[in-house]
Amino acid sequence: MERPDFFELKNGSKVKLPFSQTEYQNRLNKLRTTISKNNLDMIILTSMHNIAYYTGFIYCSFGRPYGCIITEKKIVTISANIDASQPWRRSFCDNVIYTDWKKDNFLKAIVSIIGKDEPPKNIGIENDHVTIETKEKLTSLFNFSKFKDVSKDLMKLRIIKSKEEIEIIRSGAKIADIGAEEIVKHIKVGASELEIAMTGRDKMELEIAKKYPEAEYMDTWVWFQSGINTDGAHNPKTSRKLVSGDILSLNTFPMISGYYTALERTLFLNNVDEASLKAWEANIKVHKRGLELIKPGVKCSEICHELNDIFAQLGYLQYRTFGYGHSFGILSHFYGREMGLELREDIDTILQPNMVISMEPMIMIPEGKPGSGGYREHDMMIVNDNGAENITKFPIGPENNIIKN
């Protein structure tokens, strides 16, 4: 029996996607305008975030390549046979499946989609994602073609959110609040970071399932850090058990059909010493001023400079650890960070309505110094015509977040 290198399989029926057909078509139309402006014959997408953005399909690679071919007339995903027909069911478009039993069947699937009669002269690829190996293979396969990086063009298209995107982001922010409320119920001396984090994660996944019963549920998570573990914003949870007087960092991250939202708060267990309270209040002062600065027409870098000045006046600038905020959207920032929209000194992007951005200052005072630990607060903002709307509602500060238990 001769087994195929690639094939199509429409097993079952198309399912309801997170966005309307009109939404996906609008995205595709804008992408095809980019294809035309850059004089491209096609774009080969390889990243999880862009394939999800344009098709609705979120792949799980496990070392296998995935792709999406977009021309003026076609949009087709390419997936591995291990996924069977799920990529077709959960996408806006057609799908070709490649098999594992011959080398480079992924490339053969690409050729099957575009055909051999009119080879493309100009191909757009994602230089910020495509591996060197894959790019070399594409160059060898299409040795008559020129390749152009379109990653920044695609990022700019994603930065401005649609009404449907903002709706799902709002839902995510509400669910992040719900997860945080659940976590606080379980904070007590002797409980472990892991035990506490699990309660928030489970609560959020159940809330997502209530709101979006036809979605896929993946990648919702919680970081709950205590004591020394608060020093890094992305430190994983551990089995460390809480003790009275601990600094705590609560971080909830619901993922809804590839759209990630976040809430972060500093807390203390039972009591807070004077040095820690001073550092905490300094970070909150910067956070609150940062929220006021987010509005259309303002440069990202200008916000950073003003907040740096406040930290310097308070004596904490040397303890700042990363940027003040970043864009939110499809699989961002865990997989598809929109680097052009970040609150950093070297980013001069001007804020515009329908951008979604966080305000999340953090300072980290090393062990052995008064007030040691990592302090951060994180709210999500939707930029509008007049300013920005804060969609994070969980309370902030010592008056709310010294947990007695």
Same domain, 185 and 37: no
Examine residue 274 and state whether it is found in any structural domain, yes or no: yes
Q: Which of 123, 158, 193 marks a domain boundary?
A: 158
Query: Are residues 132 and 276 located together in one domain of the fold?
Result: no
* Any domain includes 83: yes
Examine the domain organization and report whether 167 and 147 are in the same domain.
no
Q: What is the pLDDT of residue 2?
A: 82
Q: How many structural domains compose the chain?
A: 2
Q: Quick: pLDDT tens for 72-95.
A: 999 999 999 999 999 999 999 999
Same domain, 243 and 354: yes
Which pLDDT belongs to residue 304? 97
Q: Quick check: is 111 in a domain? A: yes
On whether both 212 and 69 belong to a single domain, the answer is no
CATH code of 63's domain: 3.40.350.10
Please say which residue of 138, 158, 178 terminates a domain.
Answer: 158
In a domain, 316, yes or no: yes
- 234 in active site: yes
Q: Is residue 1 one of the residues assigned to a domain?
A: no
Q: What is the pTM of this model?
A: 0.95
Confirm whether 59 is domain-assigned: yes
Q: What's the pLDDT at 117?
A: 62
Range of the domain at 145: 6-158
Tens digits of per-residue pLDDT, 266-308?
Answer: 999 999 999 999 999 999 999 999 999 999 999 999 999 999 9
Asked whether residue 370 falls in the same domain as residue 389, the answer is yes
* 84 and 171 assigned to the same domain: no
Same domain, residue pair 38 and 141: yes
Residues 391 and 274 in one domain: yes
pLDDT at 332: 74
pLDDT of residue 336: 67
Residues 135 and 229 in one domain: no
Identify the domain boundary among 158, 182, 199: 158
Each residue's pLDDT, cut to its tens digit, for the chain (405 residues) gives: 788 999 999 999 999 999 999 999 999 999 999 999 999 999 999 999 999 999 999 999 998 999 999 999 999 999 999 999 999 999 999 999 999 999 899 999 999 998 866 789 999 999 999 999 999 999 999 988 999 999 999 999 999 999 999 999 999 999 999 999 999 999 999 999 999 999 999 999 999 999 999 999 999 999 999 999 999 999 999 999 999 999 999 999 999 999 999 999 999 999 999 999 999 999 999 999 999 999 999 999 999 999 999 999 999 999 999 999 999 999 876 666 788 999 999 999 999 999 999 999 999 999 999 999 999 999 999 999 999 999 999 999 999 999 998
Do 19 and 78 sit in the same domain of this protein?
yes
120 lies in a domain? yes
3 state SS for the chain? CCCCCEECCCCCCCCCCCCCHHHHHHHHHHHHHHHHHCCCCEEEECCHHHHHHHHCCCCCCCCCCCEEEECCCCEEEEEEHHHCCHHHHCCCCEEEEECCCCCCHHHHHHHHHHCCCCCCCEEEECCCCCCHHHHHHHHHHCCCCEEEECHHHHHHHHHCCCHHHHHHHHHHHHHHHHHHHHHHHCCCCCCEHHHHHHHHHHHHHHHHHHHCCCCCCCCCEEEEEEHHHHHCCCCCCCCCECCCCCEEEEEEECEECCEECCEEEEEEECCCCHHHHHHHHHHHHHHHHHHHHCCCCCEHHHHHHHHHHHHHHHCCHHHECCCCCEECCECCCCCCCCCCCECCCCCCCECCCCCEEEECCEEEECCCCCCCEEEECEEEEEECCCCEEECCCCCCCHHHHEECC
Q: Which of 234, 326, 333, 378 is catalytic?
A: 234
The CATH number covering residue 211 comes to: 3.90.230.10
% of the chain residues with pLDDT over 90: 92
- pLDDT given at position 116: 67
377 and 295 share one domain: yes
Give a yes or no: residue 186 inside a domain. yes
